[in-house]
Structures are given as C-alpha cells and as structure tokens.
Structure 1
Amino acid sequence: MVTRIRRYAQIVDILWKYGFGIALEKAFPGKTRFRLPGTEEKQPDQSTVYERVRLALEDLGPTFVKFGQIMSTRTEIFPPELIEQLKKLQDHAKPLPFSEVLAVIHQSCPNLEDWFAEIDEAPVASASIGQVHRAVLKDGTVVALKVQRPGIPEIIETDLAILQSMAERIESVFPESRMYNPTGLVQDFATQIRKELDFTRDGRNSERMARNFRDVPGIHFPKIYWEYSSSRLLVMEFIKGVRIDNVEAITAQGCDPHDIAVRGFNAYLKMIFEDGFYHGDPHPGNLLISEMGDLVFLDFGIVGVLRPEKKQLFVNLLFALTTDDVDMILKTLEGFGIFVAEESREALRDDLYIMLHDFGGGDEIAQFNFGLMINELTEVMRRYSLKVPMSLMLLLKTLVMVFDVAVRLDPQFSFGGEITPYLRKLADSNVLSAGYMKRASNSLLEAVDAAFDLPRNVNLMLKRLSTGTIRLEVVDTDLKKLQMALDRASDKIMIGLVVAALVVGSSLVLQASPVAMPKEVIWIAVLGYTAAVLCGFYAIYHVIFLKLRLER
C-alpha cells in the first residue's frame, strides 16, 4: 500500500510538471496534495499538448511507455497528432549494473559456472522490461541472454492498478471519454504486458514460427536453449547482423535491398494468410539481416492470431481496397464485428468511396498507396466512432509497418503490385479453402439433418394442434408490467364480487320479517348494504375517471 501511495505521488508530480494539473485536480479533487513538494506546474510553451503527453509518458516509466506504444496502434480512436507523438516513444532504458543482472541469472541458473564460460558485462541492448547480454556456453556456443529486470513485475502491477483506477475515474468525471472506453483499453493493455513478462511465451512463439518456416529459405528464427531458460531468463542463439533499415550496410554485405523487401513482405503474408500466426512488432530493431544474408526475426512478445474465417475476411478486405469495392469493405468490416448504425450507413459509404477515389489505384494497381489508404480508413472509422477489435488494429498496424520498412529498402516498392498476385494465388489454391470446406460440410450436414427431421416435426405439430395440446410461448419485453396489470384487474374483480355478495345478502336480510331476527342483525345488514352501495358508486366513478384520463 505504501509503495502504491508513493508511486501515485510520483505520477501526480510528473503530470503536474507537464501542465496537466487542472485536469488532474478535476478528476481527483483534493488528492493532488500528495504531490511531491517543490514542483510547480509547467507553463505552456511551444510544445503542443500531445508532445507533452509523450514526454510525460517517457518520464512515467516502462509501464506507461509500453501503454503509449500499444495505444499508438489505436488510430481509429485517437487523433492523428497524438498517434504521431505516441509512435515516437522509444522503449529504451538505462542499463542496470551487471551485479543486479547477475543475481537474476543466478536465480534461473544455479550452476552458472558449470554452464557458461563467459558473460559479457556490457549489454547488447537494454529495454524497459529486460536487457540482453552476450554469453558463451561451455561448449563454445555463443548465445544471447535476455534477462528480466529485477522487481519489474511488481512495478508493472502497481502501475496497472493505478492506471485502472485512473481510467475508471476519468470515465465517471468526463462522460465524453466513454466513447474511447478507457477501462477497456487498460484491460487490453494489462493482458498484453503480462504476457510479455513471461519469457517462456516469447520462446514458444519463436519456435512455433521457426516450425512454420522450416522449409522457407532465407528466413531465420533464433534457437532457444530451454535447459537454461525460465520465465525471467531466455537463452537463445546469438546472431550477428545489421538492422533491416540500414540500407548501406545491407548493400555492403552483398545483399539486394529489393530482394530483402520482397522476401520480408512475403514472409509476413505467409504468417498472416497461411499460418494465421504472425510477428506483431516488426519495427527495424526486431528485424536483422545476418552475415549469411538471412532475414532474422527477434522479440516475440507481441504476436497476432487469426482464425480461418478471419483470414478470409482480411483477404476480402484487401481485395476490396485494391479493387475499389465499397460494398465489400463495408461487409468485411461488419464481419469483423464492427457495428454500423443504419442512419450512418449511407454517409459512411460516401466517405469510403471518396477514400478509394483519393488513395486507391483504380486500374493502375501500382499507384495503390497502402499506407495512406489505411491511415484514411482508420480516420473514417474514428470519425464515425466505430468500435474496432484490437486484433484487426494490430493486423493493420503490422502490415503498415512492414510496408514502411519495405519502402525504406526500396522506394519503388509497390504494395498493390506485390499483394495482388499473392491474393489471387491464395484464391486459386487450397490454402484458405480447407477451413471453408470444413465449415461448409458441417453446415451442409446440419441442413440435411434438418431436412430429414422436417416431415416428422410437421407431423408432430399437426397432431398437437388437432388435440389441443400445442403450447405457444410468448415472450413479452415488458412482461412485468403485464403481470401487474393482470393483478390489478383480478383485484378489482374480487372486490366487485365481494360488493355484489354484500348487496345480495343485505337485500335478502332486509326483505325478511323484522320479527324473526334481532335488531343488531338488521343494522349490520343495513351497514353492509350501505357500504356495498358506496363501493359500487366509487367503482363506477373510478372507471369513468380513468377512461377519460386515458382518452386525453
């Protein structure tokens, strides 16, 4: 609890420093007194509010940097200016002293001296969750050690709890923010970052992709050494290479940048459309060109999964974008679970048509600009407040990043020119048809079963109808009100019967000979008769009054 309060004070302090004090005070009135002393609110300068958001996230630490990076994919929600700033967030962190890193390695590898001949103290790379060190096994194999920073799970859990409470508070204080679903965004982010904390998941993802590409030359995934690995330490093959965006170094190695661009693009197409399991973070730091000229994939914390029917939907979406088919775009978006209000449908169709006219290739597929097309598509979805699944946004973001890398390697790279033949090949092959044939066969079997059962069901219905045993179930959306109305009606009928009984009984008593009965009985009959008459008059008045009120 003390740690959470201290962390809350740090967050308040940083947000106040970057000029968000007024919004903070409105969302959490009175609680900004926990702000650390000596920090004044930053006065507005030439920095835009979105630049200050990015700077604040960087100061807030690894959890918030990761949150900003994930949110940079939600281009259908946030304005382009904010997305541009969030894309600038870099997951770099100051390297930890080697003594702290060594303590984590010892926890996973108790027999450290028996397994490793040497471990370089200087890290090869350093990020918010972990850092990478080069090491050599006893047999001389060079490996890379991905080591989790000590205490990072506790820090992230504390930040996630604060983020969740902030999101809930923002939704209650600022109702207009609900269209962005802050609590849902935080929950999605929490799920993702908790997965990244488990390094064994990273290793399993790498091995699965390696199996998928075992027969594809020129694509390489690092080997995982499971006997030394754990959830906090991943030991993998060390691969020397240059970043994929370093065109000069790639050329110096004797590789053709255009060939690398096409090979990488086709690798992602295979992952998405054939395997349904793809590398979801293709920034240049995670893609290397080895000394042998292989394209090497690194860091599998973020992966995307596509079910067979979703693969077909995405094929349809790309076909629609490259062939300027508005109806297919709309149908495909709805297939992904995106609800389009009926009153917005025609306006949305118009905007999609304008988008295709401005950025589509028409008959010249080489002129198709995928990056601008997707940016405009997400802007249209944001304008109409369409709720887009995270899986679709990750898929679009991944393809845009792959396209950007390909253009850096080869400025003449054509997205439409490369993907159209591939999509046609898919349509002509059995890659997507197997899943659809299975679904179609299941649907056919269900239809045949229903057809065989139809005569028996019709005969049973006719028998029940003829014997009067058929049961009709009526579902009313306001059944409670109907029940209350029936209760009131039955009460009135019961009162009417009681009144009628009093009138009849009292009348019979009064008509009898007064000598034959005591005076008390006669007076009781008179009182009952009088009460019944008064109740009758009131009932008549009440019915007439209600009828007149309803007619008004």
Structure 2
Amino acid sequence: MESAEPKHLKRHTQIAWLLVRHARSDLVQGAGLDEVVADSPAGREMAAEAESLAADLESLGPTFVKLGQLLSTRPDLLPPAYLTALARLHDKVEPFPFAEVEQIVASELGVRLSKAFAEFESTPLAAASLGQVHRARLRDDRRVAVKVQRPGVRERVMADLEALDDIGRFLDSHTEAGRRYEFARLLEEFRRSVLRELDYIQEGGHLVTLRRNLATFPRLFVPAPIEDYTTSRVLTMEYVTGTKVTALSPIVLQEVNGVELAEELVAAYLKQILVDGFFHADPHPGNVLLTEDGRLALIDLGMIGHVTPRMQDYLLQLLLSVSDGRPDEAATYCIKLGRPREAFNEADFRRRVADLVAQNRDATAEEMPVGRAVLELAWLSAECGLRLPPELAMLGKTLLHLDEIGRRLDPGASPNAMVRQHSASIMQQRLVQSLSPGNLLSGVLETKELAERLPERLNRILDRLANNEIAIKVDAIDENVLMVGVQKVANRITMGLLLAALIIGAAMLMQVDTTFRLFGYPGLAMIFFLLAGAGGVVLMAMILFRDKK
C-alpha cells in the first residue's frame, strides 16, 4: 500500500484494524467450513464471529454496509454463517434534515419543492445510508414516492472505494489469499454495483426495462418512474401501497390465491434471467409487496444482474441438470461457465458435484430449493479451484430468495418442479428471440461478409498450397529434449550390453589355464571381471545421480 494517499490514512487504518480483528477467524482460514454444524460449539462460535464482522462493517458506514451485502451473495468466498449474518445487514442511520431534502430536490429539479409537488411529507417513509424516501403528491394528483440521495454520500463512497482499491491491490500482491481470490477484481465489481446505486437515472431506467419485460405477467407490478422528476440524485416513482410478503396471514393468501402468485413470480424470474438477460437481483421478502388489488409489486431496483446469451444457454442446462438430478451434466456446464485455476482437479470436482446433486435428488420436493443447490455449486467450485462468474452466485441468491417467497405464498410449492414446468416455455421464448428481425439481419450480414471474403481466402490457401508454403503447427514434445532422452537410453543399453559381454567373456576365459594369474584365477578373466564391475559401478552412479537432474 505504498501508494496510499494521506487523506485516506484514517480509512486505511480502520480497514487494517478490521482485517487484523478478523484475520484469524474461520472467514480467513476457510478450512473445513462445510463440516461445521450450526448447532455445534464450533458452529455457534462461527456464527458469533460472523455477527461481529457484520457489526464492524455497519460501524464503518454505507460503503461497507453495501460491501457486506455484496459479500452475502458470494458463497464461493464465505461460509454459510457469514452469508446469513451479512444478508441481514441494514443501515442504522438517522434521516437527514428536511431542509436539506428541500435544497437537494430544488437544485436537482430546478424549481422549488412547492412548485413541483402539491404535497411533500417532511417525515421520510424510510431512511438508509445512501438516501431516504418521502411520500408526495404531484400537481396532477398522482401519489408518488421520492427517493433523495443523502448529501455528501457520493464523495464519501468514492473516497472509501479508493482506500479499498489500495487494500485490495496490496493483498493481491502480498498474500496467498489475495492471489487465490483476486480481491482487486472483486472490489472492481463492487465499485460498479455501488456507482449504479448512486445513479438514480440508471435505477429509473431499470424500472422502465423491468416493466416492459414483465408486461405479460398481469399479477406482477413494477412502479413506473416519473422521468421529468428524476435526476441522478432524485428518483420519483409511482407510490405502491402494499404489505410485505413476510407479514401476510394464511387467510389473506387464500383470498389472493397464493399458488398462482408463486407460479407467476417464478416464471417471471426465469424469463428475466434466461430470456431477457436482465433481472432484479434483490427480491428478498422486504422488496416484494402484496398490493391492495392482489398483485405482487417489485421495488428497489438498485441491485440488478446481467446475463449474456451464451451464459443463458449454460445456465438453463445447469438448472435443468440440478433439478433433474444429473450430476455429470451439472459438472460439465459448471466447467463451461467457469475458468479453471492451476490447482483445479476435475475428477475430484465431478465426484463432489455428484455427491451434492445426489443429496438433492434423495430429498423430498419440499427440501430441494434450487437456489440453495446453485449457491452450494458456486462454493464447491471455488473450493476445487474453478472460478465461476459472479453472476452465478448472484443468480443463486436470487433463486434462494424466490424459494423463500414462493413457500410463503404457497407452502406446498416445489421450486424444482416449477423450473422443470417452465423450461419448455423458456426454450420456446429463447428460440423466438433468436429468430427476431434483429438477430436474423445480423446473421444475414455475417453470411454476406463470409460470401464476399470466401473467394479471397480460398485463393490465398490455394496459392500457398501451390507454392508449398502451407505450414502445420503441432504443439508436441520438444524434439531436442526427446532426442537427448532417447540417446541417454541408447547409451545405457549399449553400456549394459558391453558389461554383459565382458562378464560372459571372463566366464569363458576361466576355462583357459594360463601361467598369468590374479588372486589365484586366470589373469585375463579376472581383468575382464574387474572391468565389468567398475563399469557396473559407473553405470549405477550415473543412473542414481545424473538422471535426477
């Protein structure tokens, strides 16, 4: 951290204290975490350490609360106890004064608060580390929710990100854990996520995109942003009146048909992930409300995920492999999705994936959350040296939240059955999407380019064939090394044959009686024996010492 700036010295000190405080915990040691039982003394101790880490992150402010929330989606980095503790992280902050709210809204919208809104409640509905939400009413009588960014939070977050970047690069360069987990890469992902949350124009755009993508699901509702009243620091959207899914009574669920709501919610998320490639990545029960007209409202789109078309294909196959209990295929698609490290052991990885999928296959439908299986696959991959894209862990956390919400809406829901049930529809939608005019036009243009360049390429190949200029590159064993090895073997065999000939010759000369004797035996025969013995010693010395180099 030689590059640390003096203005970040205090923050570096606080982060270093955090690392030292938790450096000897199971968070860093990471040994045998999969064997720790929650109710055991070791499990309770780990849970206490995890809660301590969560409290320390909360004390460091908004940047570190968001970092903890991001880490709660990374089972490839942290054990389950830490994931649970960090997932419960929330902002313990007081709302900032209404006078500052008025100032920010007026400067962002360019008009006084009283001119833009007919009513604007001074007491916020909720206050968080990045901003707070007020209920208001527009001049046209529409009820809206206005999210206002906390003053000075962007500057503080940027300073924290710079300090974290210094720490991450230092750990990557000087520690084995840094080289294994690439903290700088993780923090760059975190930087992008936090900066998206600080840009309310982007969040408004996410609302528009999600509303369009879910227009075919009548039981789901996404509030629309009011674009004329939205800037990078102020987000105005439709106000949603509803009840958190966690607070619904069984009687209410019977009245609104929780079974159909659960099925539509799962189908909508499968479409988001596997067709649209854009999904609401934080559907925890607090962000899903049951509205007064019996729909499910998705709110707070600060955290979203993107999936590329290639990854969508592999993810669909992976989900089907897990839900159908096909371990070999699940391992294959994990390997296709990931990037193996040097220490990756494919045989051990496939064996452990088979054990994991077998556990899910042997469980009952009520005990088989597909989200949990995906999270365990992400953790298992990291343990075996396979680096999976972070989107997979985010997907697993999203599916785990869906498991929880789906069971609250319908206690008999089977997420695996829902995945299989909607897989055919997803494949059909992907096929239709691939046949869209844009994709067809792109394919026509690529075919046109191939047809235009094909004669030139064929001529070039034929010219090289005619001029004997075609070279085939084969990545094989270095022939010099191979020849040295062959020559060494040939020399050993030749020397062994000569020694054998000396011994046989000496044995035959033993039968010839001469006056020249050594040690009481025919002299010439003994010379041959001695030469063979000396040659044998030299050959053994060369084999034992020189061949090790």
What TM-score do the two structures reach when normalised by structure 1? Answer: 0.73
Cα distance in 2 for residues equivalent to 1:129 and 1:385: 36
Structure 1 residue 50 corresponds to structure 2 residue 25: no
Correspondence for 1:65: 65
SS at match of 1:431: helix
Matches within 5 A, 1:27-106: 48-106=48-106
Matched with 1:148 is 149
Q: Deviations over 1:108-164 (max 9, x none)?
A: 123222221121011011111110001111222211111000100000011111111
Instruction: Give the superposition deviation at 1:230.
Output: 0.8
Q: Distance in 2 between matches of 1:356 and 1:165?
A: 40
Q: Which residue number in structure 2 is paired with residue 325 of structure 1?
A: 326
- Aligned counterparts of 1:316 and 1:252: Cα–Cα separation in 2: 33
2:271 aligns to what?
270
Cα deviation 1:387-442 (Å, max 9, x = unaligned): 12112221222111111221233222101111101113334x25336438969967
Amino acid at match of 1:284: P
Per-residue deviation at 1:185?
Answer: 1.1
CA contact (8 A) 1:18 1:52 kept: no
Give the alignment of 1:33-432 within 5 angstroms: 48-112=48-112, 113-248=114-249, 251=252, 254-339=255-340, 344-360=345-361, 368-427=368-427, 429-432=428-431
Q: Is the 1:370–1:416 contact (alpha carbons within 8 Å) kept by the matching residues of 2?
A: yes
Please tell me the residue identity of whatever aligns with 2:353: L
For the 8 Å contact 1:133–1:145, the answer to whether it is kept is: yes
> Is 1:279–1:300's contact at 8 Å kept on the other side of the alignment?
yes
Please tell me whether the aligned partners of residues 304 and 394 of structure 1 are also in contact (alpha carbons under 8 angstroms).
Answer: yes
CA distance in 1, matches of 2:457, 2:11: 69
Other structure's SS at 1:309 match: helix
Q: Structure 1: how far apart are the matches of 2:51 and 2:219?
A: 40
Whole-Å Cα distance in 2 between the matches of residues 82 and 99 of structure 1?
39
Q: CA contact under 8 A between 2:217 and 2:264: conserved in structure 1?
A: no
- Corresponding residue SS for 1:20: helix
State the Cα distance separating 1:453 from its structure 2 match. 7.5
How far residue 250 of structure 1 moved from its aligned partner, in angstroms, is 7.7
Cα 1:172–1:98, aligned 2, differ >3 Å: closer, same or farther?
A: same
The one of 455, 463, 467 aligned to 1:464: 467
For 1:122 and 1:383, the matched residues in 2 are separated by 48
Q: Distance in 2 between matches of 1:328 and 1:109?
A: 54
Q: Is the 8 A contact 2:369 2:403 kept in 1?
A: no
Partner Cα separation in structure 2 for residue 367 and residue 401 of structure 1: 15
Query: Structure 1 22/210 Cα, relative in aligned 2: closer, same or farther at 3 Å?
Result: closer
How far residue 473 of structure 1 moved from its aligned partner, in angstroms, is: 9.1
* Structure 2 gap segments, 5+ residues each: 25-44, 479-545
Tell me if structure 2 keeps the 8 A contact 1:361–1:367: no
The one-letter amino acid paired with 2:361 is G
Deviation at 1:107, TM superposition (A): 0.8
Displacement, 1:474? 7.5
Q: Separation in 2 of the partners of 1:17 and 1:196?
A: 25
Q: Deviations over 1:29-70 (max 9, x none)?
A: xxxxxxxxxxxxxxxx99843322111101000000000100
For residues 158-215 of structure 1, give each alpha carbon's deviation from its aligned partner in whole angstroms, at most 9, with x where no partner exists. 1111111122233344333321211111111011101111100000110111112223
Change (3 A) 1:68 1:289: same
The separation in 1 between residues aligned to 2:179 and 2:294, in whole angstroms, is 49
Q: Which runs of 5+ in 1 are unaligned?
A: 24-44, 480-548
Kindly state the Cα deviation for residue 275 of structure 1 after the two structures are TM-superposed: 1.9
Q: Secondary structure at the match of 1:217?
A: coil
1:53 and 1:261 map into 2 onto residues whose CA distance is 34
Instruction: Note the C-alpha offset of 1:464.
Output: 0.8
Deviation digits for residues 506-547 of structure 1 (CA, Å, limit 9, x no counterpart): xxxxxxxxxxxxxxxxxxxxxxxxxxxxxxxxxxxxxxxxxx
| Whole-angstrom distance in 1 between the partners of 2:184 and 2:59 | 22
- Give the C-alpha shift of residue 279 in structure 1: 0.7
Conserved in 2, the CA contact under 8 Å of 1:66 and 1:91? no
Using the alignment, how far apart are the partners of 2:156 and 2:289 within structure 1? Answer: 31
Tell me if structure 1 keeps the 8 A contact 2:119–2:138. yes
In 2, Cα distance between equivalents of 1:339 and 1:449: 39
Question: Does the Cα contact within 8 Å between 1:253 and 1:291 map onto a contact in 2?
Answer: no
Amino acid paired to 2:56:
A
SS at structure 1 position matched to 2:119: strand
Deviation, 1:239, is 1.4
SS at match of 2:237: strand
Number of the residue aligned with 1:435:
434
RMSD: 3.7
Alpha-carbon distance in structure 2 between the residues aligned to 1:145 and 1:253? 33
Distance 1:347 1:451, change over 3 A: farther
Moved more, 456-465 or 137-146: 456-465
Deviation at 1:378, TM superposition (A): 2.6
CA contact (8 A) 1:58 1:65 kept: yes
Q: How does 1:394-543 map to 2 (within 5 A)?
A: 394-427=394-427, 429-432=428-431, 434-435=433-434, 456=459, 459-465=462-468, 470=469
Cα distance change of structure 1 residues 219 and 459 upon mapping to structure 2, 3 Å threshold: same
Q: 1:352/1:436 Cα in 2 relative to 1: closer, same or farther (>3 Å)?
A: farther
**Given residue 259 of structure 2, which amino acid in structure 1 is its aligned partner?**
H
> How much does 1:326 deviate?
2.4
Following TM superposition, by how much is the alpha carbon of 1:76 offset from its aligned partner in structure 2, in angstroms?
1.0
Superposed displacement of residue 260, structure 1: 2.5
- Report what 2:33 is aligned to: none
Q: Distance in 2 between matches of 1:456 and 1:22?
A: 64
